[in-house]
Amino acid sequence: MKHLHTLYAPELVTAFKAALPALRQKISCIPFAERDARLGIGGNTFRAYQNWNNAPSVVYREWASVVSDTIEPHRLATVIASSDGFSSWHVSLADDLQRHWLARQGQCLSFAHLHKLIDLYVKWLSRYNFGSAEFTNAIVSHANCALDSQTINKMNQCLSLALPLSNPSMGDIHSRVTYNFCQEVIEDFAAAQGGTRLLFDYFAWQPGGGA
């Protein structure tokens, strides 16, 4: 089997490298005290969350507000400084949101829907200045890419359309196996160009481009 780097589309390698300086300017660019009330997720995303007892946006923001109000960036920076530490924090966020969702909605989120919310929340955190370069650097280094139609399509384009995918969507992330595979593919591509999964997310996702 070919190494993935032999599949990389040259035009997207060039485009991602060229975009990195501008993508990095999106990081830690707003004081956290000025955070927006949507907590990182708007109506377009929540349209994919149907048939719940309570408005998904309300339930998500209840949870995200509490988490955001209790973040201690300097302490958390030491926890997520390593890949393993970040993964443990990521799992704890997902478990906590799932408990809140079950309590409020009476049933659990699917794996894909749960992890899309968590990854978008962490991406939202990356926009803000917490007064801790260590915290920001840890998020940029270790955060995952939120997987949806745009980011999965861009991942495949970066592989010169090597994957036999037709109209992929968030719902195609059926399990942790699928999720981890996509994260590893994205990490390999991004790291080879001097980027990260989070920066790839900023590169791949465009407002209004699909969920």
Domain co-membership, 121 together with 155: no
Does the residue 156 lie in any domain?
yes
- pLDDT tens string 140-152: 999 999 999 999 9
- pLDDT tens string 87-142: 999 999 999 999 999 999 999 999 999 999 999 999 999 999 999 999 999 999 99
Q: How confident is the model at residue 1 (pLDDT cuts 50, 70, 90)?
A: very low
Lowest mean pLDDT among 13-17, 25-29, 126-130, 160-164: 160-164
pTM for the structure as a whole: 0.94
The range of the structural domain enclosing residue 187 comes to 4-26+145-204
Domain co-membership, 11 together with 97: no
Domain co-membership, 18 together with 81: no
At 153 the pLDDT is 95
Last residue of one domain, picked from the residues 110, 142, 174: 142
Lowest mean pLDDT among 46-50, 60-64, 170-174, 177-181: 46-50
Does the residue 32 lie in any domain?
no
Domain co-membership, 73 together with 156: no
| pLDDT beyond 50 at 85 | yes
Helix, strand, coil shares of the chain as percentages rounded to 5?
Answer: 65, 0, 35
Domain count for the chain, please give it: 2
Does the residue 36 lie in any domain?
no
Domain co-membership, 15 together with 66: no
Beta strands in the chain (DSSP E): 30-31, 128-129
Q: Taking the chain, what is the end-to-end CA distance rounded to the nearest angstrom? A: 32
Domain co-membership, 16 together with 72: no
Domain co-membership, 80 together with 132: yes
